[in-house]
Amino acid sequence: MKKKAIIYGVSLGPGDPDLITLKGLKILQEADKIYYPGSLFKSGLKSSYSLSILEHYKLDTTKFEGFYLEMDLTRVKVNELYDLTFEKIIEDYNKDLKIAIVSEGDVNTFSSFSYLLEKIKKENFNVKLIPGITSFALAAAENLAPLCLQNEKLIILPRVQTETELEEALTHFNTVVLMKIKTVMNVINNVLSKGNYSIYYSEKLGTTHQFITSNLEEINKRDIPYFSLITIKK
């Protein structure tokens, strides 16, 4: 009889290992198994931002199990990997284990954990999610720039596609957070050059490579990494 089988979705926060919650760390310490996501590159190289955070907590590493998603691929391959990972999770669940699946940032905000959550919900498994610090919350903290006050409106826009979309956002909202900006800097530049905004650019937050600036020219000199975002305030 299964008595303790449970799956936790645990948010690790945006990079600094001390930005996990007490609750999240306690679950990792008590878990029988910890699944973490990573990236598998064409060259065969693997990397995992989650693992680099996990390594700070002095956990029993024999509990660790990585699932490395292939980069530059069709969704088919990613889905196969999720299916395979979920089969392992089902086995663990049926062994009555306490399972943690970790996620960078917040487990519910742009997290690939959500694909596993769909499967977990379909199986009616016992599941609990532990929220986490988002990268845009850390950006606000590092830039000393509040996201919203009183009745201000906040919008989070990943990979903004058109100038019109961004212009409308800036017209109707007090704070606009742009995520996944790497490939759309031309759109962002065109709009920002036309107005007078407060800009906060943040790169690799919570790591030793953290870089922040409010200067648009400086932003444009950067080789913008995936872990970057821009917060714009009127």
Binding site for its own copies (CB under 8 A): 9, 13, 16-23, 25-26, 106-111, 114, 117, 121, 127-134, 137-138, 140-142, 144-159, 173, 180
Reference 107, options 118, 117, 96; nearest CA is: 117
158 vs 195 by CB, closer to its own copies: 158
End-to-end CA distance of the chain: 58
List, in order, residues 6 or more apart from 193 with CB less than 8 Å away: 216
43 vs 151 by CB, closer to its own copies: 151
Token pair recorded at residue 74: 């069709």
CB of 147 to its own copies, least distance (A): 5
CB of 114 to its own copies, least distance (A): 4
CB of 131 to its own copies, least distance (A): 4
Q: What is the DSSP secondary structure assignment for residue 105, as one 8-state letter?
A: B
Measured from the Cβ of residue 156, the count of other Cβ atoms closer than 10 Å reads 17
49 vs 173 by CB, closer to its own copies: 173
133 vs 170 by CB, closer to its own copies: 133
CB of 139 to its own copies, least distance (A): 9
114 vs 190 by CB, closer to its own copies: 114
SS (H, E, C) 175-202: EEEEECCHHHHHHHHHHHCCCCCEEEEE
**Residue 228 and residue 201 in contact, taking contact as beta carbons nearer than 8 Å:** yes
CB of 221 to its own copies, least distance (A): 26
Cα torsion for 22, 23, 28, 29, to the nearest 10°? Answer: 70
